């Protein structure tokens, strides 16, 4: 089974702190994604990556950056956390190509609270 | 990108079939229909996908109408553990981005 592991289930940080959310997948997938999920707004894509050292902005990249130094690991960085970044963060991975094989596998999520 | 429409919520009795509808009238010919679900406080879980033909796997069946403008996810024998939000998604661009709408909250009752 595909496993996508997020380093923390719950995090509490203070405004202005630098926050790292880590995600690791064990299936050698090329593509990895970071979403946030908020009540009433559904899942929104923050950033994604096609391959090592490659990244693309999603729909709401402001206030975030990412790092993909190794294929299995995709990190989301909040340079200076703010209260409006309190949310559930979800990481996903999928293989590249093959029409129809757009199956994303998600981690359990990290619930971040910024105080 | 094709948009999907799902009922906000549905109830189903335990042991009965749960039929979850989805409308995607603007779907284009090369777009697939995917179903995911999200159990409370967990990440979304892939269920099934299809293009034109009906599909079945160990979790569910997917029925797609001939004109492909709508589909139905069928959980043949719903259990309490199937209580979740179910998302019908049509594949967007080649980047692989999935757009999750509001989904259908399925409540399976004893």
Mean pLDDT for B68-77 is 96
Q: How far is B89 from chain A (nearest CA, A)?
A: 11
User: A93, A32 in Cβ contact below 8 A?
Assistant: yes
Position B18 scores a pLDDT of 97
B94 contact A CB<8A? no
For residue B37, the SS3 value is strand
Q: Count of CB contacts below 8 A, A vs B?
A: 52
B96 contact A CB<8A? yes
Mean pLDDT for B15-31 is 92
What is the Cα–Cα distance from A102 to B48, expressed in whole angstroms? 11
Position B94 pLDDT exceeds 60: no
Position B93 scores a pLDDT of 46
Please write the tens of the pLDDT for every residue from B27-39: 888 888 999 999 9
For residue A8, the SS3 value is coil
Confidence of residue A99 (pLDDT cuts 50, 70, 90): low
For residue A56, the SS3 value is strand
Who contacts B37 (Cβ-Cβ below 8 Å, separation ≥6)? B44, B45, B47, B82, B84, B85, B86, B87
Position A40 pLDDT exceeds 90: no
Bridge pairing between strands B84-90 and B33-38: antiparallel
Position B30 scores a pLDDT of 81
Of residues A42 and B46, which shows the higher confidence score? B46
Of residues B12 and B41, which shows the higher confidence score? B12
Position B23 pLDDT exceeds 50: yes
Position B101 scores a pLDDT of 81
B55 contact A CB<8A? no
Closest by Cα among A84, A88, A75, A3 to A38: A88
> Is there a contact between B96 and A99 if contact means CB atoms under 8 Å apart?
no
Mean pLDDT for B40-57 is 92
* Chain B contact set for A111 (CB, 8 A): 41
Mutation target to probe the A interface, by most A beta carbons within 10 A, among B2, B59, B64, B97 is B97
From A3-12, A19-28, A33-42, A93-102, the region with the lowest mean pLDDT: A93-102
A107 contact B CB<8A? yes
Position A41 scores a pLDDT of 85
Mean pLDDT for A1-16 is 91
* Beta carbons within 10 angstroms of residue A80's beta carbon: 11
What is the Cα–Cα distance from A11 to A115, expressed in whole angstroms? 11
Of residues A103 and A83, which shows the higher confidence score? A83
Q: How far is A101 from chain B (nearest CA, A)?
A: 9
Q: Select from A96, A103, A111 the Cβ nearest to the Cβ of B46.
A: A103
Please write the tens of the pLDDT for every residue from A18-29: 999 999 999 898
Please write the tens of the pLDDT for every residue from A66-79: 999 999 999 999 99
């Amino acid at each position: 089974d595909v496993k996508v592991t997020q380093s923390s289930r719950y995090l509490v940080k203070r405004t202005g702190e630098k926050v790292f959310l880590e995600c690791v997948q064990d299936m050698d997938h090329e593509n990895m994604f970071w979403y946030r999920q908020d009540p009433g707004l559904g899942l929104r894509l923050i950033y994604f990556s096609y391959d090592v050292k490659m990244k693309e902005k999603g729909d709401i990249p402001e206030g975030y950056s990412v790092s993909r130094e190794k294929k299995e690991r995709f990190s989301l960085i909040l340079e200076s956390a703010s209260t409006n970044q309190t949310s559930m963060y979800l990481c996903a991975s999928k293989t590249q190509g093959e029409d129809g094989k757009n199956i994303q596998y998600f981690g359990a999520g990290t619930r971040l609270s910024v105080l | 990108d094709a948009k999907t429409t799902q009922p906000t919520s549905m109830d189903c009795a335990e042991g009965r079939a749960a039929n979850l509808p989805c409308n995607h009238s603007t779907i284009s010919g090369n777009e697939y229909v995917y179903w995911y679900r999200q159990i409370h406080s967990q990440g979304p879980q892939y269920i099934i996908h299809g293009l034109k033909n009906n599909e079945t796997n160990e979790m569910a069946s997917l029925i797609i109408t001939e004109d492909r403008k709508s589909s139905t996810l069928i959980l043949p024998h719903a259990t309490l553990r199937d209580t979740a939000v179910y998302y019908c998604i049509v594949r967007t661009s080649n980047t692989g981005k999935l757009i999750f709408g509001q989904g259908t909250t399925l409540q399976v009752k004893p």
